[in-house]
């Protein structure tokens, strides 16, 4: 055997040994993957915090993975492949796209890695068409949350007027459901509230600033705006400020980011919805541990919804008072 081949063979043996260790390692000792859209959004930073705290408390190793931005669907698909390749015990995923992430997740099924869907539901039609199996959904009643936020916005508008919406990624289930909740609240006014414009800003702040600036130029009569997440609300109020309309347009949102709480206290944003992203991840880690121990998840736990909370200036002041 040539001298040059010896290091190569040693290296190959080492690689095989590492792979065997991972494969043969009991599922109860393997890490859990938490795959999110992006960590540039405070919502997912909160989700990460909840997951890490639960993992530390329960003695679970948690691998946190995320794309570079909300719309980086291909990156998220690649992260699924990485998690499968690493033989994680369970995949917790908050998908950026309800349809496009279904096919990549089939690799987890083939590898017998359970999937728990967080936050944004996977599209049921696509799931059925692809034959994907997943354990549970832990997240939000997005229709109800958007309805609550829009209902409060309409109340603050005096129950009448011209309203608009900035949507999230239209291929995302949570974006579509938030649109439905918004429409439900408008419908209940029996045409006292009229939608004059809507557009998508793909959950992103700068897109929202540009889109709403254009919307205001075309529809200066807008009196209320529902944004399907807080990041877009933060962008919209930039456009409102530049147009010299601060205080003249009421804005409702969804997520309860700290930056939005500050704007609510200042009066730039009227309300938002807290959907407790930390709770979603914490419950996901707890469920993952049960699966790792070989426990069955009862039917009653296969859909777990967070308790939604309407956040207004009064609600924030009450919380501050309670802390004193």
Q: What residues of the chain score a pLDDT lower than 70?
A: 1-28
Distance of CA 77 to the CA centre of its chain: 16
For domain 26-140+277-293, the CATH class is: alpha beta
Backbone angles phi, psi at 220, to 5 degrees: -65, -10
Nearest of 179, 231, 226 to residue 209 by alpha carbon: 231
Q: Both tokens of residue 160?
A: 């009448």
Q: How far apart are CA 36 and CA 119, in angstroms?
A: 9
**What pTM was estimated for this model as a whole?**
0.84
Task: Give every CB contact of residue 10 below 8 A, 6+ residues apart in sequence.
Answer: none
Residue-level pLDDT at 190: 97
Q: How far apart are CA 227 and CA 164, in angstroms?
A: 9
Nearest of 275, 272, 269, 142 to residue 212 by alpha carbon: 269
CB burial string 237-270: b at 16+ within 10 A, e below: bbbbeeeeeeeebbbbbbbbbeebbebbeeebbb
Residue-level pLDDT at 5: 52
Residue 245 three-state SS: coil
Contact 34, 48 (CB under 8 A): yes
Contact 123, 169 (CB under 8 A): no
CATH code that applies to domain 142-274+312-319? 3.40.50.2300
Q: Both tokens of residue 22?
A: 């991972």
Q: Both tokens of residue 254?
A: 């969804």
Beta bridge partners of 195: 163
Residue-level pLDDT at 323: 83
Full 3-state SS string of 54-94? HHHHHCCCEEEEEECCCCCHHHHHHHHHHHHHCCCCEEEEC
* 115-119 vs 136-139, strand pairing mode: parallel
Residue-level pLDDT at 171: 86
Please check whether the two domains, 26-140+277-293 and 142-274+312-319, share a CATH topology. yes
Full 3-state SS string of 151-182? HHHHHHCCCCEEEEEEECCCCCHHHHHHHHHH
Alpha helices in the chain (DSSP H): 5-24, 42-58, 73-85, 102-110, 124-130, 142-156, 173-187, 205-218, 230-242, 258-266, 277-292, 313-323
CA distances 107 to 136, 163, 177, 178, 186, Å, are 17, 44, 28, 30, 42
**Residue-range domain boundaries for the chain:** 26-140+277-293, 142-274+312-319
Residue-level pLDDT at 28: 67
Nearest of 131, 144, 19 to residue 86 by alpha carbon: 19
Q: How far apart are CA 89 and CA 91, in angstroms?
A: 7
Give 57-97 pLDDT, tens digit per residue: 999 999 999 999 888 999 999 999 999 999 999 999 999 99
Q: How far apart are CA 156 and CA 144, in angstroms?
A: 18
Backbone angles phi, psi at 37, to 5 degrees: -65, -55
Q: How far apart are CA 47 and CA 73, in angstroms?
A: 19
């Amino acid at each position: 055997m040539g001298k040059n081949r010896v290091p190569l063979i040693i290296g190959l043996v080492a690689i095989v040994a590492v792979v065997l260790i991972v494969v043969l390692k009991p599922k109860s000792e393997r890490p859990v993957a938490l795959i999110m859209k992006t960590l540039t959004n405070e919502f997912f930073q909160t989700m990460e915090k909840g997951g890490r705290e639960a993992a530390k408390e329960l003695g679970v190793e948690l691998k946190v993975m995320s794309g570079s931005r909300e719309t980086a669907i291909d990156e998220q698909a690649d992260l699924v492949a990485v998690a499968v390749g690493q033989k994680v015990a369970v995949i917790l995923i908050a998908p950026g796209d309800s349809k496009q992430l279904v096919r990549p997740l089939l690799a987890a099924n083939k590898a017998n890695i359970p999937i728990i869907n967080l936050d944004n539901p996977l599209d049921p039609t696509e799931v059925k068409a692809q034959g994907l199996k997943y354990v549970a959904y832990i997240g939000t009643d997005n229709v109800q949350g958007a309805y609550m936020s829009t209902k409060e916005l309409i109340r603050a508008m005096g129950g009448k007027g011209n309203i608009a919406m900035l949507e999230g990624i239209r291929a995302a289930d949570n974006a579509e459901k938030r649109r439905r909740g918004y429409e439900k609240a408008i419908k209940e006014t029996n045409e006292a509230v009229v939608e004059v414009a809507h557009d998508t800003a793909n959950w992103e702040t700068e897109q929202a600033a540009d889109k709403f600036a254009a919307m205001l130029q075309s529809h200066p009569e807008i009196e209320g705006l529902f944004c399907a997440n807080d990041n877009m609300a933060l962008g919209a109020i930039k456009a409102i400020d530049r147009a010299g309309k601060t205080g003249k347009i009421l804005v409702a949102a969804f997520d309860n980011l700290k930056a939005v709480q500050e704007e609510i206290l200042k009066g730039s944003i009227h309300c938002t919805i807290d959907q407790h992203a930390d709770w979603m991840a914490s419950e996901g880690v707890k469920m993952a541990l049960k699966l790792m121990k070989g426990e069955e998840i009862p039917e009653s736990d296969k859909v777990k919804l967070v308790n939604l909370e309407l956040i207004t200036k009064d609600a924030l002041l009450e919380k501050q008072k309670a802390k004193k």
